[in-house]
Amino acid sequence: MEVELDLTRLAELEQLLGTELPEIVATLLGELTSALSEIDAGLGAGDLGAVALAAHAARNSALMIDARQILGYLEELETSARTGQPEAASAANQRLGASWPAVRRRLEVVAAQTG
């Protein structure tokens, strides 16, 4: 399955920030990876507040590249956590976990092609 990202947004960020694309991608990957780890830790600890905060942070990063494949799961995850639905949050996290590797690979390819 082809992962769709809005590469024009990456180009706009590159111009706006005056930063090279590989560095922008590395930052986004770091932010997303960190947030996903925080989600896993929060779910493991039963801390839905932490899950909601981490999902929100991840959504902000995913919005920067219009990563629709994971945005919907992050929204579902955040909403489930905020409304106290741990089972729904865990299910959304499983779907997110299945989608994330393809998005990560696509970002890495984009960075490598321009780096």
Summarised one tens digit per residue, pLDDT across range 36-82 is 999 999 999 999 999 999 999 999 999 988 888 899 999 999 999 99
**CATH of span 24-114:** 1.20.120
What is the identity of the amino acid at 105?
Answer: R
Q: What is the gyration radius of the CA atoms in the chain, in angstroms?
A: 14
What is the identity of the amino acid at 39?
Answer: I
What is the identity of the amino acid at 22?
Answer: P
Closest CA to 70 of 50, 90, 93: 93
Closest CA to 54 of 99, 88, 93: 93
Confidence (pTM): 0.89
pLDDT higher at 3 or 67 = 67
Could you count the other beta carbons within 10 Å of the beta carbon of residue 110?
19
